[in-house]
Amino acid sequence: MGILLLKVTGLSKEFDGLRALDQVSFAAEEGEILGIIGPNGAGKTTLFNLVSGIYPASGGEVAFQGKSILGMKPHQISRLGIGRTFQIVRPFQNLDVETNVLVAYGHRFYPGLWNSIGPFQRPDILREVGMLIEGTGLEPYRKQLAKNLPLGIKKRIEIARALALKPSLLLLDEPSGGLRFEESAQLMDLIRKVSDQGISVLLIEHNMQVVMDLCKRIVVLDHGSKIAEGSPEEIRSNPQVIEAYLGKED
Ligand SMILES: Nc1ncnc2c1ncn2[C@@H]1O[C@H](COP(=O)(O)OP(=O)(O)OP(=O)(O)O)[C@@H](O)[C@H]1O
Ligand SMILES: [Mg+2]
């Protein structure tokens, strides 16, 4: 066991009587890519929404670097070092790639959009933005409006925006969802690169091959509960996991 980064204990969420998440516990270590899988509606995105402070939990505990973060606001949690992307991409469609990333820098300090652009057009920050844009493979699109770019590139923008906040933990909600094989493979290379830089990753992913390739450890959710945790080999041969997936296929 490496250094503990995130500890989720008995985490639950109810929406109008529906248990979207039911007593889920797991831990993530520094430097790992932990896979989170499960059929549609299993509670994966809800888990991210609780950890990133978008929704209040109905019960349980979330500790990041040994400190409880439950009840904190999303911007407080992101300042502590937890970044995230969303299942449905949402860059600023009418801004170019560079400005999208620049705004993310400003967001650490200013909530308003325009507030966060002006003060941050400093040479040092522009240089950092440039490095991020290169590092995430966005250089060719730098001056293009987000709305004119394909989904695979928009997903890169989202990752660049999350990285601008200098996270130590990145929550990625189905980064390869909706992408063609080629785009998806390129995005996985980017995730591996991010991980190599020492950033820990929680990866929600539908594509089994992708999860099995990237993750040494996987947590499986079904109907809000954790039904399994282990190595790709263990998960692949776990009867409960097979049942959960087969049961959904009809
Ligand atoms: N804001 C909400 N209000 C009411 N119900 C919600 C809300 N968010 C999620 N749910 C419900 O909670 C359950 C879990 O949803 P969630 O989005 O976490 O699943 P998921 O594992 O991310 O699924 P998918 O693979 O389809 O993205 C579902 O039944 C969903 O309808
Ligand atoms: Mg989801």
Domain range summary for the chain, segments of one domain joined by +: 1-79+205-250
pLDDT at position 236:
92
CA–centroid distance, 121 to ligand 2, in Å, is 35
Q: Which of 46, 85, 205 to probe ligand 1 with, by most ligand atoms within 8 A of CB?
A: 46
Fold of the 1-79+205-250 domain: Rossmann fold (3.40.50)
Question: pLDDT of 101-122, one tens digit each?
Answer: 988 877 665 555 555 566 567 7
Q: Which two tokens stand for residue 104?
A: 């993310």
DSSP labels for the chain? ---EEEEEEEEEEEETTEEEEEEEEEEEETT-EEEEE-STTSSHHHHHHHHTTSS--SEEEEEETTEE-TT--HHHHHHHTEEE--SS----TTSBHHHHHHHHHHHTT--STTTTTGGG--HHHHHHHHHHHHHTT-GGGTTSBGGGS-HHHHHHHHHHHHHHT--SEEEEE-TTTT--HHHHHHHHHHHHHHHHTT-EEEEE-S-HHHHHHH-SEEEEEETTEEEEEE-HHHHHT-HHHHHHHHTT--
Our answer on whether the CB atom of 42 is closer than 6 Å to any ligand 1 atom is yes
Which of 12-26, 51-65, 163-177, 235-249 is least confident?
A: 235-249
Ligand 1 atom nearest to CA at 206: 25
77 to each of 100, 170, 183, 207, how far by Cα in Å?
A: 21, 12, 30, 28
29 to each of 11, 169, 202, 239, how far by Cα in Å?
A: 18, 10, 10, 26
Question: pLDDT of 42-86, one tens digit each?
Answer: 999 999 999 999 999 999 999 999 999 999 999 899 989 999 998
In the predicted structure, residue 250 carries a pLDDT above the cut 50: no
pTM greater than the 0.85 cutoff = yes
Q: 123 versus 100: which is more confidently predicted?
A: 100
In the predicted structure, residue 26 carries a pLDDT above the cut 50: yes
Our answer on whether the CB atom of 43 is closer than 6 Å to any ligand 1 atom is yes
